[in-house]
Amino acid sequence: MIDLRIHEHPILKFDRGRELRFIFEGKEMKGYESETIAAALYASGLKEFMHSFKLNRPRGIFCAIGVCASCAMRVNGVPNIRTCIAPLKEGTIVERQERRGEFPTNTVKKETKKEELETDITVIGGGPAGLSAAIYAAKYGAKVVLIDKAPKLGGQLIKQTHKFFGSRKHDAGVRGIDIAEKLIKEVLDNKNITVLTKTSAFGYYEPMTIGAASNERSTLYKIKTKKIIMATGAAEKSLIFENNDLPGVYGAGAAQTLMNVYGVKPGDNLIMVGAGNVGVIVAYQLLQAGVNVKMIVEAMPKIGAYFVHAAKVRRMGVPILTRHSIKRAYGDGKVEGATIVQLDDKWQPIPGTERDVEVDGIAISVGLRPTYGILDQAGVKLKFVPELGGHVALRNKNLETSVKGIYIAGDVAGIEEASTAIMEGRIAGLSAAIDMGLAGDDAVELREKVREELKDLRAGPFGERIRKGLEKVEVL
Amino acid sequence: MEDYERTGTVTLDYLKKIGNVPSEERLKKGPVAMTECVQDIPCNPCAEVCPTKSIHMDNINDRPKIDFDTCIGCTLCMQVCPGLAIFMLDKSKEKPRLTIPYEMLPMPERGDVVKLLSREGEEIGEGTVVALLFPDKRYQSALVTVEVDNDRLLFEARNIRVVK
């Protein structure tokens, strides 16, 4: 029987908890209580999770963090469940669905509860920005509700096994997973913060009300709030090439989630597309998980990642081919290989330079785009800013948007990295507390200090893009 | 565009040119750190942990410059460096010794003969593991010290492959 679970790792120890049994299409399967349904199925070798609606093409995991829905299945009679964020339970019945899925069969089993909450500040998103925002707002006595749709807090920080850059006082040299642990503990220990995980914030209502729902607890939440901090993060971009929907083509972040959060090997032989920091860091982490990374291809003439990250994978023998891209994926129902091609200086494929690379996984790291949906729905003014990754909210220096009382922090405010997300979270949390009149001069002073530190981090040549982007949106 | 931006590797000549390689005279005196951190990136924990203040940076985006005369070869900067870009060289013993940060499995044991890999990951020789420093905190990287046969390996080997 196939078992892709990792048992030895140089950095991580996987405590999978109790072994569970569940039923997948009539067959009894094994999983663990720390896993999601998708992680358990992937570990058993499943690649085809669903089929496309129109052309019935096989689809597999792409994002692994509950954004793309290409792992949607019927779970205990309910269709369209994103199995990558659905925790595995004893006896769960899982099946693949036909197209959009038949109407739920178990709707009357559980009664939906309704809960009304009143709070000072609602933070949407429990990643580095949201956690820091909650901590800094609660510090000044604000009552905070923190919402996240994932089973665990920490956002994408819980899979960052590498050491962070920056300075010591901002945890440089500390691994992302340990920074996450520290922030999560601070949030959970804080009596002013109410945490709702496995809960989706689905809409903004007038005046200052957030609707949220937890499938797991069958609860619908109406949250009346005075301020809102949107720290909804980002999603991975895809890339256009033939068969880019074949199971086995996934975001680099999905590979990272599978291996570093759930201890499941995404594949045996991979190609990484994109040599920015994410691509190169994930390639290194794939090597640590025992995956063979055959090569990294990068369309740009130079490596986008920090040199030191690139040097780490190069001395492991992984080639980085600049001015190369992927032309197509091939395979019968799943990835069996990738055709790569060299590009000329006008980004056009050079005929005759194609070659096939046998791989069972293609990881895409061509950037992220902000998850701005709920900001848009709330009527916040947005602008398309390529330097910041896509549509982002206009904001003032305190990270307040065009809708008074709604703030932003982290990747949704512009694609950067976790250290800057943490600082933006602090600024947004402090601003919300200050604007409510809960915090005084010391908070204003602290906010100024954080702003200065953030400016320092962005001062170098690698911060140029973000500085240019911010000039276009810091206008309010 | 610098070559390393395209290749992901630096050459020894380049490192010498920018003053990152300690002198023969200094190497003979005992272990000394050298960095292969060549870009202006916002990072400075090496300078912050150095007990003798031998790593100089004008600001957080500056590149670290090591004062080889005051560096005592304590390895603290190597353990903390997020870029795994600091190496320790020593020519005070009978054979040259090279210390590298190592975060892969399997970990070697003392006495193991391991393959030495270049900055491109190519096998360029063998070395004997003479010391290991396992991290006692998760943020640290394990350090492996290998005894090598010659200067070429000391300056060109930057990784090991453990054959078990």
Q: Does A461 touch chain B (CB under 8 A)?
A: yes
> Are the C-beta atoms of residues A223 and A33 closer than 8 Å to each other?
no
Disruptive mutation site among A308, A313, A452, A456 for chain B (greatest number of B CBs within 10 Å):
A308
Closest by Cβ to B39, choosing from A167, A306, A318: A306
> Residue A109 pLDDT > 90, yes or no?
no
Which tens digits make up the pLDDT trace of A170-225?
888 899 999 999 999 999 999 999 999 999 999 999 999 999 999 888 899 999 99
pLDDT for position A110: 66
CA–CA dist A423, A412 (Å, integer): 14
Beta bridge partners of A124: A147, A230
pLDDT of residue A230: 98
Third-level CATH fold of A114-235+369-473: FAD/NAD(P)-binding domain (3.50.50)
pLDDT grade for A156, boundaries at 50, 70 and 90? very high
How many Å lie between the alpha carbon of B70 and the closest alpha carbon of chain A? 22
CATH of domain A249-367: 3.50.50.60
Where do the domains of chain A lie?
114-235+369-473, 249-367
Distance from the Cα of residue A310 to its chain's centroid:
22
For residue A207, say if its preceding peptide bond is cis, omega within 30 degrees of 0: yes
Residue of A256, A232, A266, A239 lying closest to A392 (CA atoms):
A232
pLDDT tens readout for residues B97-109: 999 999 999 999 9
Beta carbons of B8 and A313 less than 8 Å apart: yes
Kindly identify which residue of chain B lies nearest to residue A281, measuring between CA atoms.
B83
Q: ipTM of the predicted structure?
A: 0.97
Cβ atoms < 10 Å from Cβ of A444:
14
- Helical ranges in A398-440 per DSSP H: 418-435
Q: Please tell me the distance from the alpha carbon of residue A7 to that of residue A18, in angstroms, as a whole number.
A: 16
- A114-235+369-473 and A249-367 have identical folds: yes
Q: What percent of chain A has pLDDT over 70?
A: 99
Mean pLDDT within B70-74: 97
* Out of A308, A322, A457, closest to residue B83 by CB: A308
For strand A113-118 and strand A219-224, is the pairing parallel, antiparallel, or unpaired? parallel
Interior CA angle at A285 toward A130 and A170, to 5°? Answer: 40
Q: How many helices (H) and strands (E) does chain B have?
A: 6, 9
- Mutation choice for B interface testing from A293, A314, A345, A453 by most B CBs within 10 A: A314
Token pair in block for residue B7: 């290749």
pLDDT in tens, B127-164: 999 999 987 777 778 999 999 999 999 999 999 999 87
- Inspect the interface and report whether the beta carbons of A308 and B119 lie closer than 8 Å: no
**Taking CA atoms, what residue in B is nearest to A307?**
B8
Using CA atoms, how far residue A460 sits from A102, A137, A173, A386, B62, in Å, is 54, 30, 19, 19, 8
Predicted confidence band at A166 (pLDDT cuts at 50, 70, 90)?
Answer: confident
**Do A302 and B6 make contact, defined as CB atoms within 8 angstroms?**
yes
Yes or no, beta carbons of A460 and B61 under 8 Å apart? yes
Q: How many structural domains does chain B have?
A: 1
pLDDT, chain B, mean? 95
**Please, what is the angle between helix A418-435 and helix A128-138, to 10°?**
30
Q: Across the strands, what pairs with A407?
A: A229, A400
In angstroms, the CA A356 to CA A338 distance is: 6
pLDDT of residue A107: 59
For residue A293, the distance in angstroms to the closest alpha carbon of chain B comes to 13
Find the domain containing B19 and state its range: 3-161
